[in-house]
């Protein structure tokens, strides 16, 4: 098997044999391992975009809808990643991801997810829109009887992160509130969750994941599905930054939190993904 892989990588072998070899390896791992440790190792054997596709498919097609999974992936991925996810989803499942999401979610929440799936965020900062975007958000929420959710969806779903950070600053000057406070007051349920995730990612993607990791381990019980998804998908992206943010926000390290909340080989593997302790 190692020889087949080596030859394929050097361009000397048949690539289909190589794929079969990797598939066999995953199947063997599944037969040898179990539980959370198996889920973690199999996830690590999956290429990143394919892993996102698998998580989204499970979130939609599993029993009930895993809103947390949908929100986390779609709020945090870059537009080019979202486009890759959509085309791979189509190739793998012969389904349209946007249609599947629409069929499984509804209302303003569904609309926001579709906007994120369209991956049409504008580039850079549009100086001439900062003031008017901040005013539009204020008029759509705090200054209105009821809430114009559409305005929140349009602005938060289509502007770049750098632009949004400037808008949030302007919003605070105009209203005296952080945008998160207004979203909490003006919206509820899954729409509130996705809007807050987008705001947090605009401020800091590593900060957003540090908070999600903390929430998946705090209190009684562990949200292993969430923990695995984040540790696997960010392990070669921004794990060092996530660790820094975690330490800053929660006065303890990610490594120590994993230590206290998990056990066995599952714990060892998670700690290796984490990379080190920030005492």
pLDDT digits (tens, 9 = 90+) for 211-263: 999 999 998 899 999 999 999 999 999 999 999 999 999 999 999 999 999 99
Please choose, from the candidates 131, 59, 137, 41, the residue with its C-alpha nearest in 3D space to the C-alpha of residue 101.
59
At 157-201, the pLDDT tens digits run: 999 999 999 999 999 999 999 999 999 999 999 999 999 999 999
Please choose, from the candidates 180, 185, 237, the residue with its C-alpha nearest in 3D space to the C-alpha of residue 209.
237
What the chain holds in terms of domains, given with CATH numbers, is: 127-203 (1.10.220.10), 204-278 (1.10.220.10)
What average pLDDT score do residues 75-83 get? Answer: 97
pTM for the predicted model, two decimal places: 0.93
More confident call, 154 vs 21: 154
What token pair was written down for 264?
């066995």
Residues 6+ apart with CB under 8 A from 229: 43, 55, 69, 72
Is the distance from CB of 180 to CB of 199 less than 8 angstroms?
Answer: yes
What average pLDDT score do residues 53-67 get? Answer: 93
Distances (CA, A) of 171 to 55, 162, 176: 35, 14, 8
Q: Residue 14: what pLDDT?
A: 72
In the predicted structure, residue 24 carries a pLDDT above the cut 70 = yes
Q: What percent of the chain has pLDDT over 70?
A: 100
What average pLDDT score do residues 74-103 get? Answer: 97
Q: What is the mean pLDDT of the chain?
A: 95
Question: Quick count: other Cβ atoms within 10 Å of Cβ 249?
Answer: 12
Q: Residue 125: what pLDDT?
A: 98
Phi, psi for 276 (deg, rounded to 5): 180, 170
Q: Residue 13: what pLDDT?
A: 67
Q: Residue 9: what pLDDT?
A: 77
């Amino acid at each position: 098997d190692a020889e087949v892989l080596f030859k394929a990588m050097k361009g000397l072998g048949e690539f289909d044999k190589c794929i079969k070899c990797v598939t066999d390896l995953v199947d063997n791992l599944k037969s040898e391992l179990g539980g959370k440790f198996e889920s973690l190792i199999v996830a690590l054997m999956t290429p990143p975009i394919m892993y996102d596709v698998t998580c989204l498919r499970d979130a939609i097609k599993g029993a009930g809808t895993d809103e947390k999974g949908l929100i986390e992936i779609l709020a945090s991925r870059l537009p080019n990643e979202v486009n890759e996810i959509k085309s791979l989803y189509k190739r793998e499942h012969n389904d349209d991801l946007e249609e599947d999401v629409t069929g499984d979610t509804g209302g303003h929440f569904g609309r926001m997810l579709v906007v994120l799936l369209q991956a049409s965020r504008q580039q850079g900062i549009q100086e001439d829109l900062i003031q008017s975007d901040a005013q539009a958000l204020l008029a759509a929420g705090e200054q209105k009887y009821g809430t114009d959710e559409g305005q929140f969806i349009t602005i938060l779903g289509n502007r770049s992160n750098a632009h949004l950070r400037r808008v949030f600053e302007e919003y605070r000057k105009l209203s005296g509130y952080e945008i998160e406070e207004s979203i909490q007051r003006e919206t509820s349920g899954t729409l509130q969750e996705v809007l807050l995730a987008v705001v947090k990612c605009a401020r800091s993607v590593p900060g957003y994941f540090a908070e999600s990791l903390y929430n998946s381990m705090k209190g009684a019980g562990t949200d292993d599905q969430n923990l695995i998804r984040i540790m696997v998908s960010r392990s070669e992206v921004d794990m060092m930054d996530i660790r820094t943010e975690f330490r800053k926000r929660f006065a303890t390290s990610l490594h120590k939190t994993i230590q206290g909340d998990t056990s066995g080989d599952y714990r060892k593997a998670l700690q290796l993904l984490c990379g080190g302790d920030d005492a």
